[in-house]
Structure 1
Amino acid sequence: MLFWALKSTGELDGFWTGFASRRHDWKSIVVWIDNPALETPKIIAVSMSTSDTTYNHPMASDYIGTNTSFRVRYQLGLGSPNMTFTHLDGEYQPLIMWEQLTDAARVALNESFKFEDAEMPFNDEYFEKRLEKARPL
């Protein structure tokens, strides 16, 4: 599971097109691979969070990239802000594993950490539930 902590998802401090919205949010993507023991596993499915409790399951033909990598972007539109595939170039984001976090960071994230109403997707309380919701059909 990859995740992003996003501040101010609205255009103006919690408002988007005149409607109140979250000022902070978590977005997550679950990447399903064929065999984690392989040096270069292949991506078999991707699930993108659309809210705290639901995931979109795009078809493999929607992926823009290869069977070992893809590009995503965070976009604002009608409804909730979301993640989507893109062909645009961007920056590589560092991958930090849960085990690489300090003990203090893991404790803080496990204390039901929320940005307002947005639930943190990968702490001990929510991780298994999120994986189940993200499981491809």
Structure 2
Amino acid sequence: MAIMYKGYRHAFEHVIVWIDDPARGENLTILAVTPWGNGCYLQLVPPEPKYVDGDSVKLLYDKKYYVEYHYLSPTREPGEFQPLIMWEQLTDAARTALETVDWGKDRMP
């Protein structure tokens, strides 16, 4: 029996959300969204209103089995809310781990 599909050890799908003033904390303006997919960033500058719900961006996590990659892409569909985590909110240990781990072909933003 042949193995037709192989999996990932690491798959670091992520999105960078560019906001106007993180210090303000409320009523932020989303300036740009750059989801990672297929080995590069998609640039949504600014994101179209159909991909935004209030102060959140709507993204779809999907995978293409026949080309072996996972990605994030904008969507009109509603979904679950995920918290926005600022780099500065991570512990020193978490930042160090993300910066120094070997992600293989993937990369840390």
CA distance in 2, matches of 1:71, 1:29: 11
CA distance in 2, matches of 1:44, 1:67: 13
Preserved contact between residue 64 and residue 70 of structure 1 (Cα < 8 Å): yes
- Indicate the residue corresponding to 1:25 in structure 2: 11
Counterpart AA for 1:26: F
Preserved contact between residue 113 and residue 120 of structure 1 (Cα < 8 Å): no
TM-score normalised per structure 2 = 0.66
Superposed CA RMSD = 2.9
CA distance in 1, matches of 2:7, 2:89: 33
CA distance in 1, matches of 2:32, 2:94: 30
Give 1:6-45 correspondences, 5 Å limit.
Answer: 18-38=4-24, 39-45=26-32
Structure 1 residues 109, 45: CA separation in 2 closer, same or farther (over 3 Å shift)?
closer
CA distance in 2, matches of 1:58, 1:88: 17
- Indicate the residue corresponding to 1:120 in structure 2: 108
DSSP-derived class of the 2:48 partner: helix
Report % sequence identity.
35
Structure 1 residues 55, 33: CA separation in 2 closer, same or farther (over 3 Å shift)?
same
CA distance in 2, matches of 1:98, 1:32: 13
Pick aligned residue for 2:75 from 65, 86, 94: 86
In structure 1, stretches of 5+ residues that fail to align are 1-14, 122-137
Report the Cα offset of residue 89 of structure 1: 3.5
Report the Cα offset of residue 70 of structure 1: 1.8
In structure 2, stretches of 5+ residues that fail to align are none
